[in-house]
Structure 1
Amino acid sequence: MKKLFFRALVMSFLMTFQLGFAQKTVSGTVTDTSGVPLPGATVVVQGTSNGVTTNFDGDYSISASEGDVLVVSFVGFESASATVGAASTYDFSLSEGNALEEVVVTALGISREKKSLGYSQQTVAGDVISESKQVDLNVALTGKVAGVQMIGGSSSTFDNGFLRLRGESDVLYVVDGIKIYAMSDINVDNIESISVLKGAAATALYGADAKSGVIVITSKSAKAGETSFEVNHSTSISSISLLPNYQNEYGGGYYTSWDTFSYNPNTDPAEWAAFNGQLIPYYAADESWGPKLDGTLVRHWDSWIPNHPEFGTLRPWEANPDNVKNFFNDGIENSTTLAFNAGSDTASVRGSARLIDESLPFPNTDRNQIDVNMTGDVKIGDGLTAFASLNYQYRKTLNFPTNGYGGLGANFNQWWQRQLDMDRLERNYFFEGKYYSWNRRSARNATPLYWDAPHFDFYGDQNNQRKNVMYGNFGLNYEVSDNISADVVVRRRFNSYESNGRTGWGGIDTPSYRESTSRYTQNEAAASLTYSERFDEVDVQAVLGYQVTQNRNQSINASTVGGLTVTDFYSIATSVDRPNYSSSLVKSKSQATYASISVGYDSTLYVDGSYRLDWGSTANPDENRIETWGLSGSFIFGELLDASWLDFGKLRAGYSESPVFPGAYATTQVYNVGTAYGNFTRFSVPNTQSNPNLLGGTRTEFEAGVELNFLNNRLGLDVTYFDRKDKDQPISIPVSGATGYTGLAINSGQSSAEGIEITLNTTPVQTADFNWDLSVNFATLNKYVDFLAEGIETRVLDSWMSWYGLQTQERVGEEWGVLVGRKKAKTADGTDILTSSGRPTWENNQILGNLLPDFTGGLTSQMRYKNWNLGLGFDFQAGGKFYSTSNMFSYYSGLHEDTVGLNDKGIPKRDSTSNGGGVHVTGVDASGNPVDTYMSASFYYYIHYFGNHEHWLYDASYVKLRTARLGYNFPKTALDNTPFDNVNVSLVGNNLLLLYSNIPEGGLDPSEIEGSGSIASGYRNVEGGQLPPSRTIGINVSLTF
C-alpha cells in the first residue's frame, strides 16, 4: 500500500503536465486611493484556500478561472472584489473604511472573513517570515504574535527552538493540511502565509492534537498561465556575542603556591636532571585558584610532549584574557533558493529548491541541507480539479554542540584554567599520532583528568546525522454545484533518521561507537463536503468530513560495550563485549468525523459551531471515542454606532471542550526488550504501571475578546481573555516497590489557567513616500494546580543534579511550576545565621520562585521610504526564574571576576588570611551571638555559594533585538533594459543585541536557557552549561525574472 501511495503521489505531478484546464493567471497591483502600493495585502479566490499576498510593490499573481471572484483585503481598508472575465489584469484601489474585511485562513485551510471569527486569530505573511533569512520557523515567528514565545537552546548551535503558545509547547503545525512535528522540516522560503489559531474553539476541527493551538501554514502555490523564475541567495556570518566575565589575575591550580619538579634518577631519563627544581603548575586542576599571573617562568603542559620543539622550555605564567573567545571562529551560512512557475492554458506547476551549507562558530562543524518543493493543480473536466504537492528534505550534519553540564559550555565556564593559550591547545592537542590535553595528571603522566581537550571534543569525538523527510498530498475537488463542493485527499509524511557517534581513542572515556536509526510514517485519507450560500441577509457556510490516520514509529539503537578491539576502527563489530541493542515499534490508528457550520446575519452577527468525533487505538476499546467541540460568536457592534471616532468595533466569545487520548501503550502492559544475557532474552517493565482504564484528560476553555479600530483604521487594538481547565489529567501516583513499579498512572489531576493577550497595531506616519507601521503584543499567563490525587498535595515535575536537590513541583493551591530548594538561614532582619567558624546554615524545601513569567511580548517596526525598507523585531519577557549551574561553578572554581580583587582591608582576597587576605564573613550564630571572621576566598566561594539555590536563581527577564533588515527594492524604471522584473538587496541580522537582562554576574542569555532541567510544558528551570549565543549578520539578494 505504501508503494502504491508513493507512486500515486509522484504520478500526480506528471498529471499536471499532461492534463489541461481552463485556469489562467490573473495579476495586478493593489494600492490605496493615493496610489501607494499595499505590500502584504491578501488576494484570494472566494470560497477556496487559493490565495496569495502582494509583494513590496503591491503586485500579485494568482491562478483563477473565468467566473471566479477575487477578494482583496488589507488591514485597515475596505475589501474589494472582482469577477474574473476574459481580462488577465485586475488592479485594486482600496479605500480606508468603517469595516474590517480581512480574509484569513482558519482550520482545515478554510478562508473566512476575519471579522466573522468568534475566536482569536493572527496572520503573519510569508514575506515577513522569510525576510530575516532565518532557517528556524519558530525564531522567525518570535515577537510577532501575542501569546507566542520561542524557547530554544543557544543560537550558536544547530538546535531548533520550540514555541510556547499560551504557555503550552505541544503546538500543532499543519502545512497544506499535513501535520508536521519537526519545525526544521519546514522550508520558510516556501511559505505564503501563517495563520495562528490559539483557542480550542478555533482548532476543534483538528481534534485533540490541536488543544494547545495550531500554526496553519499555507505554501506558495502554482499560478496558471504564467512563467517566472526566482533566485534568492543569502550569505551570513555568525560570531559569538556573549561570554562570562572571567578573572585574569590567577591561573590554574588549587593553591597560590607552586609545585616544583623533583628529578627521580630511578625512573626519569637522565636528560631530565636539568629540570630538577623547575616550577610546575598543578596541571590536573580544573579550577583557577592557582598562582598569580605575574610572568613567572614555569613549565607549561605542552612542554612535556615528547619530541615537541618546545619540550623542556620555560614560558611566562601570564594571563590569556581571550583564551575562550579564541576557541570560536566565524560560522558561515550560504543559502540559495531557486524557484520557478510554469503555466499555460493546459497546466501549471511551481517548484523550488533550496540549498544550505552552514558551519557554526565551532571547529569541525558542518550542515548540508537540500529542500525541494513541488505543487501543481489541473482541471480535469467540468468542475473537477486535481491538486498535489510534494516536499522533500535531505540534511546531513557533522557534529552538533549541545548545552548542558559536561559539555563545552561547562568546560569553559565552570571548570577551566585562565592562563591557557588556545592557539597552543589547537596546535598541540594531536601530535605524532597521540592526543594531548592541558589537564595532564602530572609531568610524567599525560593522561587527562576530568576533561578532554576542547578540540578533541570536535575531532576525536564526533557525531554524524542524516535525515530524510518527505511529505505531500494528492487530491480531487469537485464543484457539485455553485454552492457545494467535494474534496478527497490522501496525505503522507515520512521521516528517516540515522545517526552515529564515537568516543575517540586517547580521551578520558573508554572509546566507543554507537548507531541509531528511526523511521516514522503517517498515512492519512480524508473526504469532505463544503456548502456555502447567502440567503438575503444570512450567510451560511458548512463543512462535513471524514478522516482516517495511521502512524508507525520504529527505532533501532546499538552501541559498543567495554571498548573497541581495533584502534581507531569505529564499528559495532569491534565491540570488546557483546554490544547493547534495543529496538521499539509504536503503531497507532485513528479515525474521525467532523462538521462545522457558520451562520452570519447582515454582516453584523456571526455564530460558529464545530464538532469532531475521534476513535483512537491507544485508548481502551470501551473508552476509545472522544468528542471535541467548540462554539463561538462575534458581534460587529461598530456597524450599529454612529461614532466618527470608531472605525470598527467587534465583540467575540467562544467555548470549547477537547478531550485527548492517552499515549500509545499507556493502557496495555508492555515489556522493554534489552540486550540478551547469554542465550536468554532480557525483558524489563517500565517504571509506571499501565492502566487499562486510563484516559487522556479533558480541557475546557472559555475565550472572549474585543477588536477596535480608530483614526481611519490607523490604530487597531485586539484584546483577548481566556480561561481554561484541564481535568482528569493522567498522573503517576507512588506504589510499593514490591509491585515491580514505582508508580501507577491514574486520571486525577486538575489545573486551571487564565491569561490576557493584547495586540496594538498602528501606522504613525503614512505619506506617499514614507510609511511606518508598528505592532506591539503583550500576553500574560497564570496557571494553578487545583488538585492532584487523594492524599497527594505535591508532585515533582523535575529533580535535577543541581546539587542539594532543586526541584520543580506542582503543589495544590500554588501557582504551577514552583521551584523548591534550599536557601541560607537568616534572622528576621536578614542577617545570616552562621556557625561559629562562619559556615552558613541552611533551610531546605523552601519555595524560591516560579518558572512562569509575569508577561511576554514583542514589537515589530516596518519603515518604508520610497524604495528603502527598514524592519526591526524585538521580543521581551518579564519575570520567571531559572537556576544557573555555570555561574555557581564559576565562583566555585575561581573563574569569575568576582572571586578576585581586594577585601575590606585593602588586601587581595586571595592572599592567605594570616597575611590579611580572605573574605570577611559576618552574621550571628543560632543563639544570636555575633560571628565575625575571615575565610579563605576559595573556601568561602565554595561553602557559601555551592548548592545555594536561592542565590543562583535568576530573574529570567530580558529585552532582545531579535531581527533587523535594511532592504532596497530597485525601481522598475532601473530594470527596463534587464531581464529582471524585481531586484531586492538587503542587509539582515538575527539575534543582534541582548538589550536588557537582570543577571548581575552576566554571561548568560535568559532567552536561550536550555539545559538538563525541566521541560514540562516547555519551561526550563536549570541552565546546566549554556553555550555562548551568536550574532548573525548577512546580505541577501533576490531576483525575479
Structure 2
Amino acid sequence: MKQKFYLFLAFVCFLNMPKMLAQEKTVSGTVVDADGAMPLPGVTVLEKGTSNGVSTDFDGNFSIEVNEEATLVFSMVGYKKQEIVVTGKSNVDVRLGLDTESLDEVVVTALGIKREEKTLTYAQQEIGEDEISKTRESNFVNSLAGKTSGLQLKQSATGAGGSSKIVLRGNKSIFGVSSPLFVIDGVPMVNNAGTSDNSVFNSTDSGDGLSQINPDDIKSISVLKGANAAALYGSQGANGVVIINTKSGEPGKLSGSVSSGVLFDKAIDLPDMQYRYGSVEGSDESWATEKSDYNDDFVEDFFDTGLQLTNSLMLSGGSEKSLSYISYANTISKGIVPENDYMRHNLTFKQTNKYFEDKLKITSRIMLTDEKIGNKPNTGYYFNPLTGLYLFPRDKNFNDYKENYEVFDEGRNMMLQNWFVDSDKQQNPYWVINNNSSENRVKRMIANLAVEYDINEKLKLQVRGNYDYSTNEFDKRIKAGTASTISHRNGRWIYRDLTSNQMYADAILTYSDRFGDFDLSAVLGGSYEKSVIGDGVDVDSDFYGLQYANIFNFQNLNKEVLVKQVMESRKEKQGLFANAQIGYKDMLYLDLSGRNDWSSTLAFTGNSSYFYPAIGATALLSEIVEMPSFIDFAKFRASYSVVSNEVPSFFTRPLNEIDSDGIIINTEKPFSELEPEDQKSFEVGTDWRFFGNRLGLDFTYYRIDNENQFIPLSAPAGSGYSVYYVNAGHIQNTGFEAAIHAKPIRTEDFEWESNVNFSSNKNEIIELHPELQGRYELSKSEGYALYINEGGSFGDIYVYQFERDDQGRILVNDEGVPQRSSEYEFIGNAEPDFMLGWNNSFTYKDFTLSFLIDGKFGGKAVSATEALLDGYGVSERSAAARDRGFVQVNAVDMDGNAVSEIDAETYYKAVGGRDGIMENYTYSATNIRLRQAALAYNFKFDEHVFFDQMNLSLIANNLFFFYKDAPFDPDRTFSGGNNFQSFDLFTVPIKRSFGFNVNLKF
C-alpha cells in the first residue's frame, strides 16, 4: 500500500515538474489610457493560459507573480486588448487605446443576439450596473424610473414587497396586457403579478416575479421599446422587451465583493387633518361645532420608521477556459405600516466552460429565491388599517384602542375587537394588523443551460433550455370579532396555494460573412414554450365562515364553502423565426425579420398559426457624407413591424366551474372565431454623436396601431351565457422620444456626466364594437370611472361634477345642498402629456455625487381619501370652514337667488363622502421630484490589505417634490391592472429614504 502511495506521489510530481522547474518572478507596472494622461483602474491583468490574474488599483498600478517566460494579457471593457511577453522584464507600463468597434458591439438585442449598435434599425437604451444598484431598492425595477425615455413606472401603494407596473409607449390593449416582456440572458421569464382583487373594497397585491431577482446579479439592462425591436419574440414582445443581462465570472484568481446597505424610511405627505372638532354623541363622524384640543399625534405615531437592509456576497474566478460565479443575497424590509415585513433570500450559481479550442461553450445558471411578505396592507376599505386610523372621531381617546385593541368576551370565551363601531369602512387599526394578518410565501427556481458551438468562423449554433418553477402560498386569517359586514362571526379564511412553471427551449443558428462591399448577418431558429400559471387551490370562506372560531384549516370550513381548483393560464407554443441583416460598405443596413407561431390559445378557431414580419433600414450618414470634424457619428433609421398581442388562455375553451350544489356551470361563451390582436408599429429616428463622443442625441418618432382587440360583451338573454367575446376596436399610440447623453467636463481629476430622457405619448381610441355604442367601462366606483370612449384616450377619467347654471354657478336645492351631475362627466386623463428625467453624475478624484430629477407633466389624479376625510369631518378643510362658520361658494338656488355661504357639514357631506362630487377632489397629476441622490467615496488600499477597494455611499430616495398638486403621489398605483389609475383610496403614504451602502472588493 505504501509503495503505491509513493508511486502516485512520484507521478504527481512528474506532471507538475515543468511548473516546479519554472522560475517565477514579480512583474509590476502601470496601465494608462492611450494619451498617457489617465490611469485605468480595474484593468484585468492575466497570465495567458492560466487563471493567475490581478486587477489594477485606482492609480492603474499592478503587481503579479508569473513565470519567467509568461505572456500578460491586459483587458478592459471599451479598450483594445493587449498582450505583452515579459521575458527578461520586471516592470511593464502599458497604454490601452479605446476600442470603438467593441463599444458598438456591447449591445444585446432580441433572443440575446449581439449586434453593433450602429447597425440597429430601432430605438434601444441600456442601463448599466451602477445605475441599478445605486439606490439599493429591494425591487430593482423601481430604479429604472426616469432613466430611459418612453418607460413609465408606477409603484404599488401597498408597502414592503409590493409590485411595480411598467408600460412602454402607452397602453395598447383594453382586455389584454400592455406590460413588456422580461427576458433573462435571452430567455423569456414569467412575471405573473399574483392574484389581485382590484376593487375599492379590497385591492390586494401579491408582488411580482421581477421583485424576486437579486439586483446585484444584474450586469446591465437593455430596453427594446417597441415591437419593431422585439419582433423575434413574436406576440410576447408586442409591448416591448426589457432584457436583463446577468453577471458571469471574471478570469483570474478568486475575486469577489461584499455589499451591505441599509435604508431608513419615513412616511411623508400625510393627509392634512384636523384635531379640534370631535363627534356628536352616537356618531362615528367628527361633525361637532364646539372646538377643543384633542390628541393630534396619533396618526403620525401610527407609522413606523421603515427599514430596508440588504447584504450580498459575490465570488468569481477561473481561467479563460472555465469561469465560475456564485452569489448570495439577503434582503430584509420592514414597512412603515406596523407588522408589514419582507424577507428574501437569493442564491445564484453560473458556470461557463470552453472546450475544443474554445469552439464549444457551455453555460449553466441556476437562480433560487425564497421570498416572504408579511401583512402587506390592502388598499381600499376592507382590511385596511388606514381607514380606521384616518376617520377616527377626534374626541375619543385613540390610545385606549391602541393598547387594548382586543378585549375578552365572557359570553364567547375569547378575545374580540375593541372598537367603538361595527363598520366595514373602519376597524381598529391594531386589530387589523394583528388579527386580520396575512403571509405570502414564494419559492422559485430558474435553471438554464446554454450550449454554443462555433461550427466554423462564420457559422455558430446555440441551443438553450430553461425551466422556471415557483410556488406561491397566500394565507390570510381573519379572526372572529372582525366587522360583521366583511367576516363570519367565527372568522374568515382566505387561502391560496398555487404553482407556476414554464419550460422554454430554442435553437438558433447564426451566420455572418462578407462579400466584397456587402456583409451578411443571418439568424435562423425555432423555439418551444409550455407554461402553466397559477395552478392550485383557492378558498375563501367568506360569509359561510368556519365551524369553530379561529381555527384555520380545511377541516374546519363550513360545508357551504367552495374549495376551488383554479388555473390562471395554460398554453403551449412553438415558433420558427429568421432574421437577416445586410450591410453595404458599412454605411447602409437592411434588416428583415419573420416569425411564425403555433399557439394552443388559438385552439378550436380553425387557425392556430400566425405570422409576424418586420423590416428596418439604417443609413450611417457620417459614412455616406463627409461631416464636419466635430460630428463623430450620424445615423438615420426606420422600421416597421406587424405582431399580435398575446392571446389570453381559455378564451376559445373556457374553464368549467362547479357551484355549491355540484352543478357544472360556464358563464362564458367559447370564442371559436377568435383572431389574434394585431399590432402594426412604425418608427423612425436619428442618432448623433459630437465632440469625440462627448455629446450624443437620439430622437425617435413612433406610431402603433392595435386592432382586433379582445372585448367582452353581455350575452343575449336565453343564450345560457352571461359573457361572450368579440374581436373589435382600434387603439392608436403616437409619440416621440429624445435622449441626450453628455460629458460637458472631463479632466484628469473631474468629470461631469449628464443624461436627459424625454418622451411624449398620445393615445386615441379610434374605434370600438358597435354594440358598445361608443363606450366600454373599465372601472366605476366612489364617484370615479374609467371609460374607453371612441374618440377619447385610454385612461380617460369621468367623475360626478357640480350641477351648474349657464353662468357656471353651482346649483343648490332648497336645503342648501349642492347638486351633482346625474351622470359621470369627463374631467381629464390619467396619463401624463410628457415625461422628463435628468440624471447627473459628478466625479472629483475619488468622490462621486449623483442625482436624478424625474418629472411627469400633465394628466389628472383623483383622491377618494380626501372625499372621505371631508365627509367624515376630519379634514383640515372641514375644520377651517367651521372656524369661519361657513363654506364660501358661488352658487344659486332653484329660484335663481345667489348663495354665497353654505354650512360646513351640509356642504362637505354633499360634496365629500362616498360617491361624492369628485370634481372637487380632482388634481393635476404633474409632479417633479428629486427622486435619487447619492454621495460616494472610493477608498484605496495597498497590496498588503486583503481588500482591493471599498466604496462607501450615502443614499437618499424621494427627497422632496419641486412641484406636486395632488395630496398623494400620482406615480403610485392603486391597481396593477388597467382599473383605477391615478386613483387614491386610503393608500399607504409615500416614503422618504435615507441610508448608506458599503461595497468591498477583493
User: Using the alignment, how far apart are the partners of 1:377 and 1:101 within structure 2?
Assistant: 24
Task: Quickly say closer, same or farther: Cα 1:153–1:286, change in 2 above 3 A.
Answer: farther
In structure 2, the residue corresponding to 1:886 is in which secondary structure? helix
Query: Match for residue 140 of structure 1?
Result: 143
User: Using the alignment, how far apart are the partners of 1:419 and 1:84 within structure 2?
Assistant: 80
Could you tell me whether the CA contact under 8 Å between 1:250 and 1:291 is conserved in 2? yes
Task: Quickly say closer, same or farther: Cα 1:500–1:401, change in 2 above 3 A.
Answer: same
Q: Compute the displacement of 1:519 (Å).
A: 0.8
Query: Match for residue 562 of structure 1?
Result: 544
Query: Match for residue 525 of structure 1?
Result: 505
Residue type at the aligned position of 1:565:
Q
Query: Match for residue 20 of structure 2?
Result: none
Which residue of 784, 794, 797 maps to 1:816?
794
Which residue of 150, 154, 163 maps to 2:153?
150
Query: Match for residue 303 of structure 1?
Result: none
Q: Compute the displacement of 1:431 (Å).
A: 5.0
Query: Match for residue 201 of structure 2?
Result: none
Query: Match for residue 191 of structure 1?
Result: 218
Task: Quickly say closer, same or farther: Cα 1:412–1:627, change in 2 above 3 A.
Answer: same
Which residue of 681, 684, 689 maps to 1:701?
681
Query: Match for residue 924 of structure 1?
Result: 892
Which residue of 681, 698, 701 maps to 1:721?
701
Q: Deviations over 1:81-113 (max 9, x none)?
A: 447798999976456999984631111112222
Query: Match for residue 964 of structure 1?
Result: 933
Q: Compute the displacement of 1:923 (Å).
A: 2.2
In structure 2, the residue corresponding to 1:115 is in which secondary structure? helix
User: Using the alignment, how far apart are the partners of 2:83 and 2:514 within structure 1?
Assistant: 20
Query: Match for residue 752 of structure 2?
Result: 772
Q: Compute the displacement of 1:38 (Å).
A: 7.5
Query: Match for residue 230 of structure 1?
Result: 257
2:402 is the alignment partner of 1:426: yes
Query: Match for residue 266 of structure 1?
Result: none
Query: Match for residue 377 of structure 2?
Result: 401
Query: Match for residue 1035 of structure 1?
Result: 996
Query: Match for residue 114 of structure 1?
Result: 117
Residue type at the aligned position of 1:471:
I
In structure 2, the residue corresponding to 1:563 is in which secondary structure? coil
Q: Compute the displacement of 1:222 (Å).
A: 1.9
Q: Compute the displacement of 1:69 (Å).
A: 12
Q: Compute the displacement of 1:896 (Å).
A: 1.1
Could you tell me whether the CA contact under 8 Å between 1:40 and 1:125 is conserved in 2? no
Q: Which has the higher mean CA deviation after the structures are superposed, 947-956 or 729-738?
A: 729-738
Query: Match for residue 286 of structure 2?
Result: 288
Could you tell me whether the CA contact under 8 Å between 2:404 and 2:418 is conserved in 1? no
User: Using the alignment, how far apart are the partners of 1:600 and 1:995 within structure 2?
Assistant: 48
In structure 2, the residue corresponding to 1:573 is in which secondary structure? helix
2:556 is the alignment partner of 1:589: no
Q: Deviations over 1:795-816 (max 9, x none)?
A: 324232214xx32122222233
Q: Which has the higher mean CA deviation after the structures are superposed, 527-536 or 696-705?
A: 527-536
Q: Compute the displacement of 1:779 (Å).
A: 0.6
Q: Compute the displacement of 1:683 (Å).
A: 2.5
Q: Deviations over 1:42-96 (max 9, x none)?
A: 99xxxxxxxxx99998999xxxxx999999776xxxxx54477989999764569
Which residue of 651, 668, 673 maps to 1:666?
651
Q: Compute the displacement of 1:427 (Å).
A: 1.9
Query: Match for residue 610 of structure 1?
Result: 593
Q: Which has the higher mean CA deviation after the structures are superposed, 584-593 or 540-549?
A: 584-593
2:841 is the alignment partner of 1:862: yes
Query: Match for residue 186 of structure 2?
Result: 177
Query: Match for residue 848 of structure 1?
Result: 827
User: Using the alignment, how far apart are the partners of 2:61 and 2:798 within structure 1?
Assistant: 57
User: Counterparts in 2 of 1:474-493, with a 5 A limit?
Assistant: 474-493=449-468
Could you tell me whether the CA contact under 8 Å between 2:697 and 2:740 is conserved in 1? yes
User: Using the alignment, how far apart are the partners of 1:624 and 1:59 within structure 2?
Assistant: 62
User: Using the alignment, how far apart are the partners of 2:339 and 2:863 within structure 1?
Assistant: 28
User: Using the alignment, how far apart are the partners of 1:69 and 1:595 within structure 2?
Assistant: 38
Could you tell me whether the CA contact under 8 Å between 1:988 and 1:1036 is conserved in 2? yes
Query: Match for residue 377 of structure 1?
Result: 352
Could you tell me whether the CA contact under 8 Å between 2:407 and 2:417 is conserved in 1? no
Q: Compute the displacement of 1:1021 (Å).
A: 4.3
Could you tell me whether the CA contact under 8 Å between 1:793 and 1:811 is conserved in 2? no
Which residue of 903, 906, 912 maps to 1:936?
903
Q: Deviations over 1:255-276 (max 9, x none)?
A: 3xxx5xxxxxxxxxxxxxxxxx
Query: Match for residue 266 of structure 2?
Result: 239
Task: Quickly say closer, same or farther: Cα 1:609–1:717, change in 2 above 3 A.
Answer: same
Q: Compute the displacement of 1:925 (Å).
A: 3.9
Q: Deviations over 1:289-320 (max 9, x none)?
A: 136453xxxxxxxxxxxxxxxxxxxxxxx422
Query: Match for residue 26 of structure 2?
Result: none
User: Using the alignment, how far apart are the partners of 1:345 and 1:120 within structure 2?
Assistant: 34
Q: Which runs of 5+ in 1 are unaligned?
A: 1-26, 44-52, 61-65, 75-79, 260-281, 295-317, 442-446, 910-916
Task: Quickly say closer, same or farther: Cα 1:637–1:71, change in 2 above 3 A.
Answer: farther
In structure 2, the residue corresponding to 1:950 is in which secondary structure? helix
TM-score w.r.t. the length of structure 1 is 0.82
User: Using the alignment, how far apart are the partners of 2:76 and 2:327 within structure 1?
Assistant: 26
Q: Deviations over 1:388-407 (max 9, x none)?
A: 11101001222111222335
In structure 1, the residue corresponding to 2:855 is in which secondary structure? strand
Q: Compute the displacement of 1:1008 (Å).
A: 1.4
Residue type at the aligned position of 1:426:
K
User: Using the alignment, how far apart are the partners of 2:263 and 2:305 within structure 1?
Assistant: 10
Q: Compute the displacement of 1:901 (Å).
A: 2.7
User: Using the alignment, how far apart are the partners of 2:378 and 2:56 within structure 1?
Assistant: 40
2:911 is the alignment partner of 1:955: no
User: Using the alignment, how far apart are the partners of 1:87 and 1:402 within structure 2?
Assistant: 66
RCO (CA 8 Å, sep 6+): is it higher in 1 or 2? 1
User: Using the alignment, how far apart are the partners of 2:83 and 2:669 within structure 1?
Assistant: 63
Task: Quickly say closer, same or farther: Cα 1:162–1:815, change in 2 above 3 A.
Answer: closer
Task: Give the percent of matched residue pairs that are identical in Structure 1 and Structure 2.
Answer: 26
Task: Quickly say closer, same or farther: Cα 1:146–1:229, change in 2 above 3 A.
Answer: same
User: Using the alignment, how far apart are the partners of 2:473 and 2:725 within structure 1?
Assistant: 33
Task: Quickly say closer, same or farther: Cα 1:440–1:477, change in 2 above 3 A.
Answer: same
2:972 is the alignment partner of 1:1008: yes
User: Using the alignment, how far apart are the partners of 1:41 and 1:249 within structure 2?
Assistant: 66
Could you tell me whether the CA contact under 8 Å between 1:958 and 1:995 is conserved in 2? yes
Q: Compute the displacement of 1:562 (Å).
A: 3.2
User: Using the alignment, how far apart are the partners of 2:798 and 2:352 within structure 1?
Assistant: 58
Query: Match for residue 329 of structure 1?
Result: 304
Residue type at the aligned position of 1:134:
E
Q: Deviations over 1:484-538 (max 9, x none)?
A: 1111121111111112111112322321223211111111121111112233443
Query: Match for residue 610 of structure 2?
Result: 626
In structure 2, the residue corresponding to 1:163 is in which secondary structure? strand
Could you tell me whether the CA contact under 8 Å between 1:239 and 1:1030 is conserved in 2? yes
Q: Compute the displacement of 1:921 (Å).
A: 4.8
Query: Match for residue 946 of structure 2?
Result: 979
Task: Quickly say closer, same or farther: Cα 1:670–1:439, change in 2 above 3 A.
Answer: closer
Task: Quickly say closer, same or farther: Cα 1:574–1:342, change in 2 above 3 A.
Answer: same
Q: Deviations over 1:553-597 (max 9, x none)?
A: 312112336333334322222224443211124431111111111
Residue type at the aligned position of 1:540:
L
Task: Quickly say closer, same or farther: Cα 1:923–1:660, change in 2 above 3 A.
Answer: closer
User: Using the alignment, how far apart are the partners of 2:39 and 2:970 within structure 1?
Assistant: 40
Task: Quickly say closer, same or farther: Cα 1:30–1:746, change in 2 above 3 A.
Answer: farther
In structure 1, the residue corresponding to 2:696 is in which secondary structure? strand
Task: Quickly say closer, same or farther: Cα 1:845–1:91, change in 2 above 3 A.
Answer: farther
Task: Quickly say closer, same or farther: Cα 1:548–1:710, change in 2 above 3 A.
Answer: same
Q: Compute the displacement of 1:122 (Å).
A: 0.4
In structure 2, the residue corresponding to 1:1006 is in which secondary structure? coil
User: Using the alignment, how far apart are the partners of 1:374 and 1:524 within structure 2?
Assistant: 19
Q: Which has the higher mean CA deviation after the structures are superposed, 400-409 or 502-511?
A: 400-409
Q: Compute the displacement of 1:239 (Å).
A: 1.6
User: Using the alignment, how far apart are the partners of 2:962 and 2:158 within structure 1?
Assistant: 16
Task: Quickly say closer, same or farther: Cα 1:90–1:594, change in 2 above 3 A.
Answer: farther
Task: Quickly say closer, same or farther: Cα 1:412–1:857, change in 2 above 3 A.
Answer: farther
